[in-house]
Chain A
């Protein structure tokens, strides 16, 4: 990679071609040179900030933010500060502590940098930091940052700018307050490592993968093959998605046949082996039925019931873990080859989600839009205008009622302050309850207006599920309905799947988490 051209040109292409673990490959390459070319530090920081996924990239951010400060490379210094701002909380507190600590050290270096373009950039970043940045900050760390920031602000000759930056920084530090940080050394490293190990990567087909089953089985045994014992049958959900926007819905359906054949042949052989061990003469392959239960409109999420008995399920788990006999089995390899080739030729990835016995049927999304269903949401980020900021659904109901009755939508009629009216109007447009100018109710809006009681909230839930935001969130959570989305996950979701940043994420997340908590029971 070091000889392939300009780092800022090479890295985006590399990231695009090498799956979610690409930053670790870059770090591996740079270690050998001792990170001698600071442009790689800057390019890595910029590319990470552009496509940051806390769970997958937290360790990479920790590595690059810990690099030697680029005192002669302004662009790289700015990009490190950009990454320090961008890193967001994940569901792994220990990973967050590592990353937060590195981000604050980076901030300190930026504030103390003699180049005013860098130090003022650091002051700008400082005002947008969140609580997760300060989880390991001690009081004297905070004092040092405050002192460095004050010196930078004093030197800014445009007082209006200095005042705004100062207010933001003070607000951030007031929020940190007198919290007692947890030192990393206070808790055993083993619990930290266990937590970080739970960041499972996505399987991507590789040209160098000589044992397709081996590539699949670690992921499959970790996530998919947890059969329950409550009753016969199990439910598999397969998510097929692409990093490229051109993927077609048909590509996902094409996965079903080779996947079904693969599982069927594995289960059949597992039973044959079991019967042979038990001395049964007339053993024959188990009857394995795949029955499609549900599919989410516009995505490549396919839910199927696999009907077989518990013994076979255990056999399959054992078979997959050991890999014995399956790789060499002509028929099984043939099925896997088909699957592997299909994935590779179409730039598709497969994530086999949880398996649970007798899962409830997922609700099929009601889509009021004429937008064609296409698998775009996992390959692009949500825009600002697609994420609502309207904490109280009842105000949206009031807005819909006003329009239905031909009444003006005002702060008084919604029961909000004036500046919030535009946010509720925007939310109604996002939910496609109303048309853009001239503002009128859509069919969905009318359905919401006439519904009463619990039905109103059920329709609201279905409407939200069918929006780009709702669908992306469900897909991100590897679910098939809103109630599959974990409570409190909106910050992590928006960090990974939207163009939002800074305080905007927390504000919008407040809306999404509130809606989720209210609507999941409907």
Chain B
């Protein structure tokens, strides 16, 4: 597969520490699919865990929009943490593009 990566929600409030939605396909990964899978990841979390990550998912969706306007993005690793200054938290959402092009 020439294009792969994953969306991931991380934090010690998630059983096992994380949930992820990978992609692996022959063609570049469309932005529309990115938004869909990101929303599905959010829905997979418990209500409280999703609420804590609301801002993280907003930032991740925003990144996908920007990436689409830029013509897609190659392999990279982005982190969107939730914590405000002084807050004690490991809660975040990540987007990892491991190979190929994503969010065209």
Point out the residue from B11, B16, B17, B73 that lies within 8 Å of A78, measured CB to CB: B73
Q: Which of A491-507 contact B (CB under 8 A)?
A: 500-504, 507
Q: Looking at chain B's contact residues, is the secondary structure mostly helix, strand, loop, or mixed? A: mixed
Q: Which of B62, B76, B86, B99 has the most A CB atoms < 10 Å from its CB?
A: B76
With A and B bound together, what is the CA distance between A128 and B77 in angstroms?
15
- Contact flags (1/0) for A120-137 with B, using CB distance below 8 Å? 110010001000000000
Candidates A161, A423, A503; contact of B12 at CB < 8 Å: A423
A384 lies within 8 A of B11 (CB) = yes
Q: Which residues of A contact B78 (CB under 8 A)?
A: 78, 82, 121, 124
Selected from B58, B70, B83, the residue in CB contact (under 8 A) with A503 is B83
Question: A124 to B76, Cβ gap below 8 A?
Answer: no
Given contacts A8-B75, A121-B78, A161-B62, contact A384 B12 (CB under 8 A): yes
B47 within 8 A of A: no
| A18: interface (CB < 8 Å) | no
Q: A254-279 CB contact bits vs B (8 Å, 1 = yes)? A: 00000000000000000000000000
B23 within 8 A of A: no
In the complex, are the beta carbons of B66 and A75 less than 8 A apart? no
Are B55 and A164 within 8 A (Cβ)?
A: yes
- The reply to whether A384 and B10 contact each other, CB–CB distance below 8 Å, is yes
A residues near B80, Cβ cutoff 8 Å: 124
Query: In the complex the two chains form, what is the Cα distance from A303 to B84 in whole Å?
Result: 47
Once the chains bind, are A158 and B62 in contact (CB under 8 Å)? Answer: yes
B7-46 CB mask vs A (1 if < 8 Å, else 0) is: 0001111001110000000000000000000000000000
Q: Which chain A residues (284-303) contact chain B, with CB distance < 8 Å? A: none
Q: Mark A58-85, 1 if CB is under 8 A from B, else 0.
A: 0000000000000000110011001000
Is A179 part of the binding interface, using a Cβ–Cβ cutoff of 8 Å? no
Interface string of B81-92 (1 = CB under 8 A from A): 101111010100
Tell me which of A8, A128, A503 contacts B99 (CB under 8 A).
A8
B side interface size, CB within 8 A = 32
**Bound complex: CA A420 to CA B79 (Å):** 24
A385 at the interface (CB under 8 A from B): yes
Other-chain contact of B88, A43, A158, A161, A419 (Cβ < 8 Å): A419
Is A117's CB under 8 angstroms from B66's CB? Answer: yes
Q: In the complex, are the beta carbons of A384 and B17 less than 8 A apart?
A: yes
CB of B88 to closest CB in A, whole Å = 6
- Kindly state whether residue B104 has any CB partner on chain A within 8 Å: no
The A interface, classified by DSSP as helix, strand, loop or mixed, is: helix
Interface residue ranges of A350-372 to B (CB < 8 Å): none
Contact A161 B85, beta carbon cutoff 8 Å? no
B85 contact from A46, A167, A507, Cβ within 8 A:
A167
Q: Does the CB pair B12–A426 fall under 8 Å?
A: yes
| B76-A158 in contact (CB<8A) | no
> A383 in the interface, Cβ–Cβ < 8 Å?
yes
A98 to B10, CA, bound (A): 32
Which of A43, A128, A423, A426 contacts B81, CB < 8 Å?
A: A128
Closest Cβ of chain A to B57, distance in Å, is 11
B residues contacting A by CB (< 8 A) are: 10-13, 16-18, 55, 58-59, 62-63, 66-67, 69-70, 73-81, 83-86, 88, 90, 99
The 3 tightest CB contacts between A and B, nearest first, are A171-B85, A75-B74, A117-B66
Subset of 30 A-B contacts with CB under 8 Å: A8-B74, A42-B75, A42-B76, A43-B75, A50-B77, A75-B74, A78-B76, A79-B76, A82-B77, A82-B78, A115-B70, A116-B66, A117-B66, A117-B69, A117-B73, A120-B62, A121-B78, A124-B59, A124-B79, A128-B79, A161-B58, A161-B62, A167-B85, A384-B12, A385-B12, A385-B16, A389-B90, A422-B13, A502-B79, A507-B88
Binding site for B on A (CB under 8 A): 8-9, 39, 42-43, 46, 49-50, 74-75, 78-79, 82, 115-117, 120-121, 124, 128, 158, 160-161, 164, 167-168, 170-171, 383-385, 389, 419-420, 422-423, 426, 500-504, 507
List 4 additional contacts besides A164-B55, A384-B11; criterion CB under 8 Å: A124-B59, A170-B85, A171-B85, A507-B90
